[in-house]
Structure formats: structure tokens, C-alpha cells
Structure 1
Amino acid sequence: MLQEGSLYLGTSRNPDDSLNKAEYLALKYGNRHGIVTGATGTGKTVTLQVLAESFSEAGVPVFAADIKGDLSGIAAMGEPKDWITQRAEQIGFTDYAPAEFPVIFWDIYGEKGHRVRTTVAEMGPLLLSRLMNASEAQEGALNIAFKIADQGGLPLMDLKDLQALLTYMAEHATELSSQFGLISKASIATLQRGLLILEQQGAQNFFGEPALAVTDIMRTTHDGRGAISILAADKLMMNPRLYATFLLWLLSELFEELPEVGDLDKPKLVFFFDEAHLLFNDAPKVLIERVEQVVRLIRSKGVGVYFVTQNPLDVPETVLAQLGNRVQHALRAYTPREQKAVKTAADTFRPNPAFDCATAITQLGIGEALVSTLEAKGIPSMVERTLIRPPSGRVGPLSDAERQKVMGLSPVAGQYDIDLDSESAYEILTARAKKAAEAEAAKRAAEEKAAGGDSAAGRWTLPGFGDEPAETTSGRTTKRSSGYQRETVIEAAMKSAARSVATSVGRALVRGILGSLRR
């Protein structure tokens, strides 16, 4: 069943349920991208595992997000369960054998895998604005912040660096506005609040050093298999915007760092984007254009991108048009939107006169899919109703002990697990502020000294609080620096009597007026 230069996906069958032919994905077209869609429970995760295993066996590194933890079992020896052996026999897969695969676990939080980080500078203002849900004005202020950091030699490594830079911009908004354009303090304040929200959501774990080197997700083993990098995303999914932004950042890094290689015999890396709809939900037009650009051009870098999602409508048409390899599991058609999704999915396939594609989509069983891949000269194959082959690795999650064992044997063990905090914008701006405060204090001290050396010189004080000269022995007083003279006992008594009389008269008048009103 296995073929050199191709990945075996399963075996198609005729309308009378008889076996038709084996379905393959040509390795040389693996970088032409693809999509795996289907309703919950129809077998998408198993198909993803089959594809990951197949690419790994062919020597292609794989990166995939593990949403529910089920994909982690790929690191353990497969178990010949009844449904697995039955499917292998049903499709005539005589080469089936349980196996385990080389896996590297990653986790932004460092709990279920090696820490994965990037720096604020590498993230860039566009993706950071998306992460913070910034408005156009706030995104403009963020772009200015990155420009100031670049010109001022202020490395932006983590969130506290960006927070310090925003504080600096707010304090010097007037002078900076004359150079970079209007800097609104309101926009700066909103960005600062956004950073606090990101910290509360755990995003501070994602920013810092050491930053992930893309070469570490493109490893191969000594026996020629591609390493499968699995991102633990069950906790990360609690913050969908961070999840989508991280994966888009990783795609952008691959696009920017990898050289042009053209068409190869097999991809250099295959990237699976599970729950792909999260990337496009409420995404601004500029971000969707960025995704389209990356997907269109990253093929020439030898990278294949495969979107995994429930509904083909989750992916914009401009991106969907770039996806050459398609696996469509069952869809339900109970609502108008679902019916539209079925029609959209059916229309993306090259028709097969043997059956109606739209009808077949609603009748597919678990582990069954409509499959179309690129054939000679990159032409899509005729869609076939296919029984997907069973995976060789374990289907289901690893235990915590098994995961820790795999992490301990990882080629990157200890490389990313300790935080580094090098001198960056926060330390530089803090040092500058301290130096400026010390200079200001020294300036004030010099001015006071020049005024007479008395720390109280030039200071206005109330009489009776320490500025009065001592009384003379004759009982007379001298003139005060404030211009007032001390009252005599007789003067004080007369003023007190006058105030008492005035108060009594006032009270009598008020009582008289109120009394007349009561009458």
C-alpha cells in the first residue's frame, strides 16, 4: 500500500461499497497547503494524526497544536484496538503496524511542554495590536512606540519593557509629538490598560527570553524521521486571541527567516493550524491580507500549511483558494448556514460523476471523508469517498508521567525552561529616569546654596512657626520678618469681647426673624 514519494491516506470505495483504489498525497505537493474540515466527532483529529505520522515517516518535520490533549498519544506505541484492526482489514492495509513517533512538546505556560516564547520586538506592532484588540489610533501609537524603541536603542523583550516605553511616551508626549506625530495620552493609557489585561490572561509567559528558534521545530532524528512538535493548547484555548496570534506569529517567523527554495521533493516543514476559525474571527482586513500573503508565499519556502476546522466557511475565500489538498469529513445540514457550508464544500471539489458530492457530505460515517489531492502538474484529483487509514501511534492522550519522560529525553531539554532577563528598555529607561532625578536634585541643591546656603531661603512661612526672633529681656519684641507684630494682652482681650458682642447680636437678630416667620 505504501508508495515512495507519497503518503497513503486511505482507500476509496464505489457507490456499491466495494473498494475502489488507494488514495495518496504526493510529497512534492505537500507544500501546496491543505484543509481538513468536518463536524465535531467525525474524525478530524484522527485524520490530523494520520497526516502528521505520515509526514514524519517521510522525514518531514511537523508542527501541530493539540487542542484537547488527544494528539499527545502519537508519542506512544499504538494499541491494536478492535476498530483499528477492523479498519485496516476493511481497506486492505496490510502494511499496518503499531509505532511511536519522535515528539517534542511545547507549552507557552511551561506546564505540559518546553517553554515557547518570543520577544515583543519580534511580535511587531501589527500582531500586538491584534492581540490587544487595539483601535486604529492605538495601533498608530504602538507603531510610534516601536519606532522610538528602534531609534533610541531600546530593546523590547517583554511586557514590562513595552509598559516602561509607553510611560516614557506619556511623560514626554509634547516633545515626541513634534517629531513622530500626535501622541494621544488617551491612546497610551488605553494601551497600558490593555497590557495589564494581557498580563492577567497569562500573556507575560509568552514574551521574554530565550525566544524560540524556528530551527528547533524543524528537526529530524538520526533515523531520518521528522520530529513532531506538539503545542499544548488546552489551557491556551482559554485565550483564543493569544492562541491565534501566536500561531500567526510563528508562520510569519518561518516566512521571514527561511530562504527561498522553490519546489522540493518534499516539504521542509508542515504546519497544522487546528481550530483555524479563531484566526479569522473578528480579524481586521489588514490581518486577513497578511494571512493570505503568508499562505501564498510561504510555499516557496518549502512550508505547507494545513487548516483544521469544522466549517469551510470559517476560512476566507482568498485563503481557501490557496489550499490544494482537501479532506472533508461529514457536515450536518440542519440550518441555512450549515446548508450553505455543505454547498461551499461540495463546490470546492473536482466533481465525480459516480456520486453527488453535496449529498455524500451529509452521509459520511465516522472516519470517512471526501478526499481530493494534487496530482501530476498540480491538477486536483477527482474527489473520492474515502475510508481514512488508522493511525499507527496511540489514539488518546499520554499520562503526565509519560509526558514528562518524553520531555526529559527531548533534544531541547533545559534549553528554554529558564527565564532570562537581559538589559532592555525597562532597565535602560529606569536608569535614565534615576539619573535625571539625581541631576535635578543636584541642581536644586546648587541653587539653594547660591541663594545663601540656608535650606529655608526664599521659603514663605506662617508666623508663629519658628521664624520669630527671641524676646528681649525687657519684654519688648522686635519686628518679624513677616511684617507682623505680636498683639498685647489688652488688644487681644478687646478683640475677643468685640467678637462675643457681635455673635450675641447676630443670634438675637436671627431668632427675631425666625420668630416673626413662625407667626
Structure 2
Amino acid sequence: MSDKKTLFTEKIKTSYAPTGASIYLGAGILDGEVLAEAEVNLPLRMMNRHGLIAGATGTGKTRTLQLLAEQLSDAGVPVFMLDVKGDLSGLKQAGTINPKIEERSSQLNKPFSPTGFPIELYSLSGKTGAQMRATVTEFGPVLLAKILELNDTQTGVLAVIFKYADDNKMPIVDLNDLKKLLGYLSEGDGAAEIKSSYGSISASTSSTILRKIVAIEQQGLGGMFGETSYDIDDLFNRIDGKGVISLLNIADVQNQPVLYSTFLLSLLAEIYQYMPEAGDLDKPKLVFFFDEAHLLFNDAPKAFLEQVNTIIRLIRSKGIGVFFCT
């Protein structure tokens, strides 16, 4: 091996050769040549420190997610990730060997053994997997406003409605509950009551919010709001020592990125509230992959961004890792 290759290999080894269990990402490439000894590894214990996978379309972001998910599952770490096209369910079946895989395996000096992984399929519509749903109250006004694409004024009104419901111990279970409460407080007997304590709700603002709610229902997505809420414990399952890979299939709603990205954030918020403090662990309790993450932040109001920042910053202490992919 030339001095240049030796120096390169040693540099990679020094930087990416952790002690203890690790996740293998691949090998360094120098002048177009794969150097198998220059392994790039991430410590398993660091997988709750969050990460970013970035690249242009077609550069292998989804394949990288799959590589990480498979190794985490093998290490007994459950994974939650989006299945944008509905093709990741193939993780359940062992793959097949072909000449390209054999060539790649030889380059990396890594034997390839086809393996299947335990998966669970979820869906927001209930059509492509088990229905994931949460009550409107669990979503809260900030995240729901993001889904409904409300402006600041409309978001403020929605916050008032939630405050009234909370003060009066009125759970808002589904969108029907929200519509009834909106009508009651804007035009019904509750209009005078809310005006004196919280401020009035204009008819135009009420009508706009109502139209946004109806639009969600017409798209067949009203079922994601309601009872019974998803059981967070289901996301932490293991089968035969392998962490279950939970896939949220969004093939039927992939043209509504604000909807599913905000739902994922609400799920993270619920996990944060549910899980006890864990401190530094040998491996994370769950790793969460946020595909198409940039869509979460497009035109996001300040209150929403602050909530994202708080959840992501603090959830690491619960043993949860979050990887953004964009």
C-alpha cells in the first residue's frame, strides 16, 4: 500500500474506529478506489445523539436509512421510519444475491448474508397498515395549526379554543368535537362567554378554520384523529432479539408532506412525555428517522419551530435518537 493510501486509511481508522458495538457505514474511497480497511463506523451508544443525512435526489439517502435501520434492528434497537413509496416493507424478506452485490461485498471485504427483519406496518389513512391515530387534544393547537395550514390569526383562535376546552375539562377527541366546539364558541351560546374571558372569534376566522377541517375530512384523513390512540409501547417491541422496524406507510398521502411530517412530530412529543429519563445508555431505546425533514420547516411559524427545537433537544435524555433526512 502506498504512503498516500496508508495515511488515508489510518486517518479514517483513527476517526471512525470506536470501541464497543458500532454501526458500519462503509469504507473510504481514495481516487476512486474503495479501501476496505478504511472502515467508517459509528458508535452504537452515540445513536441517540441525533444525526443528519443529506444529499440530492438519487444519491442514496433512503438506502443509507435502510442500512442504519437493519443494523440497529440486529443490535436489538427498535426503529421508526417513513415508508414514502411503500417499498420498505421488503425488509421483512431476506434479499437475494446478485453479481453487483457480490462485487460490492468483495470490495468491502464484507460477506453478505441475506436476512429478513421484523417489521410492523402503520398508516395514517388505515388503508396501507394499522391505523395510527391521536386525539385532537393530544395534537395541541400548534401542531394542528400546522396541519391545517392556518395563519397566525387563525392559529391564535385555535389556541383560544384549546384553552377554553382545557379550562373546562372538555377533551377534544376528534374533528367532529372540534367543529362542534368551534361553532358553539363562535356563533352559539358560548360566544358571549368566550368573549368576556378570552376574546371574540370572528365569523370569517371561524369559517376558514372550519373549511380547513372539512378539507382534511374530504381527503379521507379524519380517521387519524380520535380514539383509541396508538400505543407507544408497540414502538419498542423486539422479536427474537431484533428490534422491530415500524414503518409508517405514507404512499397514499405522500402528496401531503405537511400532514405526515407534523404527525411524526406529534408522535415524538408523545414519546417524550411518555418515556422516563434514561441518561447515557450503551444503545438507544429507539431511533426515529425523519425522512423529507425539510418539509417540516417550510413556512413554519415561530411557535412551531420553538416546539420542534424543544422536543428534539430534550428527547435525547430519554434514550431516543432522531435522524433527519433531507
Q: TM-score of the superposition, structure 1-length normalised?
A: 0.57
In the TM superposition, what is the alpha-carbon distance from 1:167 to its structure 2 partner? 1.0
Secondary structure of 1:238's aligned partner: coil
In the TM superposition, what is the alpha-carbon distance from 1:274 to its structure 2 partner? 0.8
The separation in 2 between residues aligned to 1:140 and 1:39, in whole angstroms, is 37
Confirm or deny: 8 A CA contact 2:19 2:43 kept in the other structure: no
- Aligned counterpart in structure 2 of residue 114 of structure 1, from 130, 134, 150: 130
Which residue of the partner structure matches residue 60 of structure 2? 43
Question: Which deviations, in whole Å up to 9, do the C-alpha atoms of 1:392-420 show, x marking residues without a partner?
Answer: xxxxxxxxxxxxxxxxxxxxxxxxxxxxx
The separation in 2 between residues aligned to 1:145 and 1:283, in whole angstroms, is 21
Confirm or deny: 8 A CA contact 2:118 2:243 kept in the other structure: yes
- Aligned counterpart in structure 1 of residue 213 of structure 2, from 195, 217, 234: 195
Summarize the Cα distance change of 1:88–1:18 in structure 2 as closer, same or farther, 3 Å threshold. closer
Question: Which residues of 2 match residues 160-309 of structure 1 at below 5 A?
Answer: 160-170=176-186, 171=188, 172-221=190-239, 223-309=240-326
Equivalent residue pairs, number = 307
The separation in 2 between residues aligned to 1:3 and 1:241, in whole angstroms, is 40
Residue type at the aligned position of 1:185: A
Q: Which has the higher strand share?
A: 2
Summarize the Cα distance change of 1:27–1:187 in structure 2 as closer, same or farther, 3 Å threshold. same
Summarize the Cα distance change of 1:81–1:243 in structure 2 as closer, same or farther, 3 Å threshold. same
Summarize the Cα distance change of 1:3–1:202 in structure 2 as closer, same or farther, 3 Å threshold. farther
Confirm or deny: 8 A CA contact 2:80 2:246 kept in the other structure: yes
Which residue of the partner structure matches residue 106 of structure 2? 89
Which residue of the partner structure matches residue 43 of structure 2? 26
Confirm or deny: 8 A CA contact 2:92 2:117 kept in the other structure: yes
Percent identity at matched positions?
A: 46
Runs of 5+ consecutive residues of structure 2 not aligned to the other structure = 1-16
Residue type at the aligned position of 2:179: Q
Confirm or deny: 8 A CA contact 2:123 2:132 kept in the other structure: yes
Secondary structure of 1:8's aligned partner: strand
RMSD: 1.8
The separation in 2 between residues aligned to 1:66 and 1:120, in whole angstroms, is 24
Which residue of the partner structure matches residue 103 of structure 1? 119
Confirm or deny: 8 A CA contact 2:20 2:43 kept in the other structure: no
Secondary structure of 1:237's aligned partner: coil
The separation in 2 between residues aligned to 1:250 and 1:87, in whole angstroms, is 37
The separation in 2 between residues aligned to 1:137 and 1:67, in whole angstroms, is 33
In the TM superposition, what is the alpha-carbon distance from 1:124 to its structure 2 partner? 0.4
In the TM superposition, what is the alpha-carbon distance from 1:84 to its structure 2 partner? 1.5
Residue type at the aligned position of 1:216: D
In the TM superposition, what is the alpha-carbon distance from 1:4 to its structure 2 partner? 4.9
Secondary structure of 2:242's aligned partner: coil
Residue type at the aligned position of 1:51: L
The separation in 1 between residues aligned to 2:133 and 2:243, in whole angstroms, is 22
Q: Which runs of 4+ in 1 moved over 4 A?
A: 1-4
- Aligned counterpart in structure 2 of residue 123 of structure 1, from 117, 129, 139: 139
The separation in 2 between residues aligned to 1:284 and 1:176, in whole angstroms, is 25
In the TM superposition, what is the alpha-carbon distance from 1:174 to its structure 2 partner? 2.3
The separation in 1 between residues aligned to 2:184 and 2:318, in whole angstroms, is 40
